[in-house]
Structure 1
Amino acid sequence: MQETEEPLEFVQRVAALDIGKSTLMACIRVPHEDKPGRRLQEVGEYATTTRSLLALADRLRCQGVTLVAMEATSDYWKPAFYLLEAEGFECWLLNAKHVKNVPGRPKTDKLDAVWLAKVVERGMCRPSFVPPKPIRQLRDLTRYRRTLVRERSSAKQRLEKILEDAQIKLTSVISNLLTVSGRQMLQAMIDGERSPKVLAEMARGKMRAKLDALQEALTGHFDEHHAFLCTMMLARIDDLTARIGELSQKIEQVMEPFTVQVDQLIEVTGVGRSSAQEIIAEIGVDMTRFSSSDHLVAWARYSPQTRQSAGKTKSSTTGKGNWLSGALGEIGIATSRTDTFLGARYRRIAKRRGKRRALVAVGNSVLTIAWHLLSDPDARFNDLGPGFYESRINKERQTRNLMRQLEQLTGRPVVLGDAAA
């Protein structure tokens, strides 16, 4: 018989919250004082205002509740979780998919709270990762910065579309409209300049080698309507750029206690300062929350789930994306162009499985490296080099495999000989 790890006993005094926007349903379950093995249960409705939540905390304290659990419902869980946590309760945030009620049963807020309490008291669920307050605040900043970066990218795309509408093909000649030269040309067109030759002469640096192509690209029907829209869009882009800069400054201030961890992560191939900040904001710096690097990778949804039935293992995905996947995707793209171990890993997998799977594999490796670095303050990243995989190849075995494949293709025996002969 195989020994398994099971909880020794129920959580004796537990509460579960089914939270909505304006109200929540609380179920409290405690042992019966006179009847051993029996439980007492109380279900009540509370508002989600601060005063009502404090009253709930007092009631939980009177009942001796040691654990409060709640589902991750939108952002509605945050006020209750943070307040009860500050009041000294151990709080668990649960994934709603992991604590679903039995199908076919009636569904009400009261029944959901009771079911959740029963699941928690029996140890049939595990809490989600909720970082400490400093990391939560850092996460708010990095996520908002990424949101603004995405909005700025959308604004740039809208600017390109309005220029296409005016038959201005600048993006066919220059990769970035908002360089010094591109911005000067746009402003000149907004101010009324329409001569392609005059506009093309504003090019600077390497762009001056493309004057003829620029004149062709700047020949269109840009009018006052396009000028008005471009003015609005450029103002929007400038405002977003300013807000992103302010956020970056604030993030640098908040990151001061984590300077050592940032310096460790920056040493990893493809990881820049902003990427390191986002990784720390999402996973924190306390790696004891994850039992192993595999645990961290699985939590980040960078490890395919196992799906096996009738003795057959079926292919599965890594799950939907999250905030961490954006940073890891950028790291993977940057890594793919480097002559390093991670770059070689990307190219090796992309050749066989495609670029998207290669990005996931590199993200998996980066998270594994991050876990080991953050687990040990003295650890440093050591690149294995682009020739790592080749150094592990058994050349004799590879030769035999290639000869066997060639024999199967040609139908003739293959014999190796001296090239000079």
Structure 2
Amino acid sequence: MSHVVEFPQLFDRCAGIDVHKENVVVTVKINQKADQTRTFGTFTEDLQSLKSWLQAEQVTHLAMESTGVYWKPVFNILEDNFNLMLVNARHIKYVPGHKTDRKDSAWIAKLLASGLLKGSFIPPAQIREMRELFRYKKKQIGYRVSERNRLQKILEDANIKLGNVVSDLFGKSGWAIICAIIEEQSDPTLLAGLAKGRLKNKIPQLIQALNGKITDHHRFMLQTSKLALESIQQHIDRIDRRLEQYIQSHSTEVELLETIPGVGHETVKGIVSEIGFDMSVFPTADHLASWAGVCPGNNESAGKKKSSRVTQGNKMLKTVLVEAAWVATKVKTGWLKNKYYAIAARRGKKRALLAIAHKILVAVYHILKEGLPYKEPTPRIVTTN
């Protein structure tokens, strides 16, 4: 005879929410009573009605899965009135069989009541806004890179080999020459005369590189690309000013984080926009590293370790940390640099970079939690008898 195992209900009044684009299905689970399930629309008025119903039923705890972006407006309206848990959809997969929205919401409610759900980290509203700004800024930087590549292709099409001589095509000298070409200047000697600094030593090579065949079409395309680049830069600068407003009240923490090798002001904005300033939400630095996806995974069965691949984690945070790790390896001296080369010799450069990213994040955790600047670890002294 088979027995159905029933877990004790930890919350007397809780609810599970199955979120969709046009509606949400909610099941309220009250101890010793039959479940109640209702469907609401996703307009603000509908979500307010949902909140009123949950309050009338004296619900204290809610759980919902992170479905695309559709969970966000529901979360924003309910977060101030309930203990709301956002759960990774993979962690609440329903058992095989007949699947309906009603059953999904009831399953979420049952798992929540039994204490079998683990909530995702949801930072405060201010940090969520910073996160959106920083990620949008990264998108704009990507657009800028694409537009710069397009402009270089136009120059190549006109047989202007400026990139062969100028290390930074969009530095002061390179940009001045491009603007002059747009303004219908085609004399290679005059264009080369716009060189500044050490580039003046390469005037003969510049004259050769600028001797191309520029048409009106090329100038039109260059001007269009130039306008696009200027517009993108305005967007980036505007987002930057907004981000600075957010971190002004945390200037002490920002300065402390900048003491970590490889971590500059831009990196700090990227890190805190993903994890915030309050480290009490992560029990240990290892929990934070696991959430970020910068530490080895743990997959063991029958006493055998199957895989130690890193978890997926937070892609944006991982990218920012790896960039910081790369900068840290370029400083003249330092523990992180030495550690990188020691690991790279054994495990390869990619794994070494991820290991340094892990150590930077651990340092970030302790700095924010303890309010102390970065301190180089003391090398262990090995004694031999």
Using the size of structure 2 for normalisation, the TM-score is 0.92
Q: 1:78 matched to which residue of 2?
A: 72
Using the TM superposition, give the Cα deviation of residue 60 of structure 1 relative to its aligned residue in structure 2, in angstroms.
0.7
CA distance in structure 2 between the partners assigned to 1:318 and 1:155 by the alignment: 34
Q: 1:417 matched to which residue of 2?
A: none
Q: 2:343 matched to which residue of 1?
A: 349
CA distance in structure 1 between the partners assigned to 2:231 and 2:309 by the alignment: 39
C-alpha RMSD of matched pairs (Å): 2.0
Using the TM superposition, give the Cα deviation of residue 287 of structure 1 relative to its aligned residue in structure 2, in angstroms.
0.9
**Unmatched tracts of structure 2, length 5 or more:** 1-6
Verify: 1:247 aligned to 2:239, yes or no.
yes
Using the TM superposition, give the Cα deviation of residue 72 of structure 1 relative to its aligned residue in structure 2, in angstroms.
0.8
Contact kept? 1:340, 1:384, Cα under 8 Å: no
CA distance in structure 2 between the partners assigned to 1:367 and 1:373 by the alignment: 10
* Map 1:7-406 → 2, pairs under 5 A: 9-32=9-32, 39-86=33-80, 88-102=81-95, 104-320=96-312, 322-338=315-331, 339-377=333-371, 379-384=372-377, 388=379, 392=381
Decide which moves more: 106-115 or 213-222: 213-222
Change (3 A) 1:55 1:316: same
Give the letter aligned to residue 195 of structure 1.
Answer: D
3-state SS in 2 of match to 1:131 = coil
Change (3 A) 1:392 1:229: farther
Give the letter aligned to residue 149 of structure 1.
Answer: I
**Unmatched tracts of structure 1, length 5 or more:** 1-6, 33-38, 398-421
Using the size of structure 1 for normalisation, the TM-score is 0.85
Using the TM superposition, give the Cα deviation of residue 384 of structure 1 relative to its aligned residue in structure 2, in angstroms.
3.8
Change (3 A) 1:40 1:232: same
Using the TM superposition, give the Cα deviation of residue 393 of structure 1 relative to its aligned residue in structure 2, in angstroms.
5.5
Give the letter aligned to residue 372 of structure 1.
Answer: H
* Deviations 1:162-201 (CA, angstroms, capped at 9, x unpaired): 2223322222222321111111111122222223333222
Q: 1:35 matched to which residue of 2?
A: none
CA distance in structure 1 between the partners assigned to 2:311 and 2:179 by the alignment: 45
Using the TM superposition, give the Cα deviation of residue 8 of structure 1 relative to its aligned residue in structure 2, in angstroms.
7.6
Contact kept? 2:9, 2:31, Cα under 8 Å: no
Using the TM superposition, give the Cα deviation of residue 392 of structure 1 relative to its aligned residue in structure 2, in angstroms.
4.1
Using the TM superposition, give the Cα deviation of residue 310 of structure 1 relative to its aligned residue in structure 2, in angstroms.
4.2
Give the letter aligned to residue 327 of structure 2.
Answer: A
Contact kept? 1:373, 1:381, Cα under 8 Å: yes
Using the TM superposition, give the Cα deviation of residue 306 of structure 1 relative to its aligned residue in structure 2, in angstroms.
1.3
* Residue identity (%): 33
3-state SS in 2 of match to 1:220 = coil
CA distance in structure 1 between the partners assigned to 2:175 and 2:242 by the alignment: 28
Give the letter aligned to residue 331 of structure 1.
Answer: A
Q: 2:4 matched to which residue of 1?
A: none
Structure possessing the higher radius of gyration over alpha carbons:
1
Change (3 A) 1:278 1:8: farther
3-state SS in 1 of match to 2:34 = strand
Change (3 A) 1:341 1:47: same
Aligned length: 377
Using the TM superposition, give the Cα deviation of residue 57 of structure 1 relative to its aligned residue in structure 2, in angstroms.
0.8
CA distance in structure 2 between the partners assigned to 1:106 and 1:392 by the alignment: 63
CA distance in structure 2 between the partners assigned to 1:156 and 1:68 by the alignment: 48
Change (3 A) 1:164 1:314: farther
Using the TM superposition, give the Cα deviation of residue 372 of structure 1 relative to its aligned residue in structure 2, in angstroms.
0.4
